[in-house]
Structure 1
Amino acid sequence: GVGICHVYVDRAADLGKAIDIVVNAKAHRPSVCNSAETLLVHRDVAGEFLAKAADALRGAGVDLLGDDRAREHTGMTAVTDEDFATEHLDYVMNVAVVDDIDGALHHIERFGTSHTEAIVTEDRGAARRFQAEVDAAAVMVNASTRFTDGEVFGYGAEIGISTQKMHARGPMALPELTTVKYLVDGDGHIRS
């Protein structure tokens, strides 16, 4: 499915870990559907995190498009709603500063495609809440969005990733595209 994937860096994130995750999620293979398109950063860590993250992302060749609050912390081109709704499939990443986890969830609800979402946090409660409330086929905690892959999940060669809620959802291989037919042989068996 279309992958407008987000990484949300929570106020309780290990910021070193967050930089590694964000750079991997965007720059490892930017042309695939599980590449992160948007970085969301909690306002409490934006000042400390964004300059370092921007340097690391730019070092990996990524161009950054930021909202007004993100651009206060480091130079970026202004982002638009159209950018937030675009699967760039390139070395381009949107950046927004959010007030809290509610702001991150709202942004993802508005612009996400139900593919893969990630939170970086050491707060187990925030992680579990994010997992429960975000609408996505795969939800990562302290891991790159790049892990959403049939082969990585142990399904063999991947055929696709479904963002639907009926039948197969998430990475799919051949078994997810088949249906079941029950063959029952009896010898006069009856149900009582």
Structure 2
Amino acid sequence: MKLLLTIFLSFIAIGNLTISNAQKKKGAGKDTVIEKIKAAVESGEITREEAAQKIAGLKKRGGSSSHEALGKRLKAAVKAGKMTEEEAKAKFEEMTKKVGNEKPNPGVEGVMKRLKIAVESGKITEEEAKKRMVEFKKRLSNEGAKKGKSNNAELAKKIRAAVKEGKLTKEEAREKMQSLRKRTK
């Protein structure tokens, strides 16, 4: 009798541990998505408002995966008569394959691909995608200008050092500094 009771209690304990681990894994996935959203805000890929909306949507869905959300949207489109079941299945396979096999690409091409996928899945409109692409290109050009200015500061230091060492005359240094200023304008 004691043996049966011990075995029974062991099964209950193991079952509880399994359920506990499953809940931890599910919660960790949600936390990972939130961290990715925060990283996207820091990199300037999305605004804080967009991030807040995404996080609210994630919490509202209960942390369901993007595949599940895509499936729900496609089922709704089939019910509404916008596409057939076969088209929905093909679209689902195409979208999940793209999301699963590609690594994030921070360049223009990667952003364009992600925006195209978002438009195709119905997450955003084409106008929103175009607006985001313009904002992304603007950020890229601003970053390039900042890099150019910091490089010019370094070059200016080198020019001053060359004058001190006698490798350049003051007139040559002045000409080089003027050409640097022209490049950044």
Structure 1 and Structure 2 fold alike (TM over 0.5): no
Bigger Rg, which one:
2
Q: Higher strand proportion, which one?
A: 1
* Normalised TM-score (structure 2): 0.25
* Normalised TM-score (structure 1): 0.24
Higher relative contact order (CA 8 A, sep 6+): 1
